[in-house]
């Protein structure tokens, strides 16, 4: 039996003290529409969105001190003017998100380029919709690959599933699905030492062995 690993790859290349280039490569089996949102006060790269067919690669330059997030949008349809919709990760029905964030659930790749220390991580706080991998290049050995390559959709509990016909295409966070204090870590469950508040996330951690990293 042959197993094919399909995911959205982000390669982060450090070209100098302040310069960086993101290389996005679609290793999924279908077209992905990456969304990009800048952090507070930061402009979105590529005006916030693009289409990436299977196997395609695009290089995106980031200015000094940029921070923000990438996510993959799936099951999208846009007209010639860039208007349409995505089943997962939609940002107001636009191909170019123009500063808007994606509707959860979606897998997030987050970056803060703040020389001399840069931070990057893959976050499932907004749920999950597709595998993502981050590979840093041109840096010291302190910068490791961050990846979430397991297909969590296949193991998503029924109450968290987002479906297209009979296929699970995304997995909501428990907070998004149920909006209760024990799953949103609010109120009496806001203390991180409360094991019950984080019980559901233990299974997610099993799918995400490599998470937050910083570059020195």
Structure confidence at residue 8 (pLDDT): 65
pLDDT in the model for residue 12: 65
90: its two tokens = 């939609």
The CATH code of the domain at 8-153+204-215 is: 2.60.110.10
> What's residue 205's pLDDT?
41
Mean pLDDT over all residues of the chain? 81
Q: Which two tokens stand for residue 204?
A: 């997610």
Q: Cα separation of 122 and 131, whole Å?
A: 10
Residues 60-89 have pLDDT tens digits of: 988 888 999 999 999 999 999 999 999 999
Judge contact between 51 and 31, C-beta under 8 A.
yes
| Separation CA 8–CA 35 (nearest Å) | 12
Q: Which of 11-15, 17-21, 183-187, 207-211 has the highest mean pLDDT?
A: 183-187
Segments of 101-152 assigned E as strands:
108-114, 117-123, 132-137, 146-148
If one counts every other C-beta atom within 10 angstroms of the C-beta of residue 115, the result is 14
What spatial distance separates the first Cα and last Cα of the chain, rounded to whole Å?
42
Percent of the chain with pLDDT over 90: 44
Q: Which of these, 28, 65, 68, 75, lies nearest to 46 by C-alpha position?
A: 68
pLDDT in tens, 84-142: 999 999 999 999 999 999 999 999 999 888 767 788 888 888 899 999 988 887 666 66
As a whole number of angstroms, the distance between CA 182 and CA 174 comes to 9
pLDDT of residue 126: 84
Indicate whether 7 pLDDT > 90: no
DSSP 27-51: -SSS-BEEEEEE-TT-PPGGGGB--
pLDDT band (50, 70, 90) for residue 14: low
Residue 206 is predicted with a pLDDT of 40
């Amino acid at each position: 039996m042959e197993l094919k690993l399909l995911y959205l790859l982000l390669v982060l290349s450090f070209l100098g003290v302040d310069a960086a280039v993101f290389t996005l490569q679609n290793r999924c089996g279908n077209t992905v529409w990456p969304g990009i949102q800048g952090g507070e006060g930061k402009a979105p790269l590529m005006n916030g969105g693009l289409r990436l067919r299977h196997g395609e690669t695009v290089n995106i330059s980031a200015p000094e001190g940029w921070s923000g997030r990438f996510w993959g949008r799936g099951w999208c349809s846009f007209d010639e003017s860039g208007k349409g919709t995505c089943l997962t990760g939609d940002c107001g029905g636009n191909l170019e998100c123009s500063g808007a964030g994606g509707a959860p659930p979606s897998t997030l790749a987050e970056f803060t380029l703040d020389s001399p220390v840069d931070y990057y991580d893959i976050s499932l706080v907004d749920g999950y919709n597709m595998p993502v991998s981050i590979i840093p290049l041109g840096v010291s050995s302190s910068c490791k690959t961050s990846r979430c390559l397991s297909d969590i959709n296949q193991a998503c509990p029924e109450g968290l599933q987002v479906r297209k016909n009979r296929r699970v295409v995304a997995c909501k966070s428990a907070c998004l699905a149920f909006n209760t204090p024990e799953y949103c870590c609010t109120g009496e469950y806001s203390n991180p030492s409360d094991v019950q508040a984080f019980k559901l996330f233990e299974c997610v951690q099993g799918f995400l062995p490599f998470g937050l990293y910083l570059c020195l």
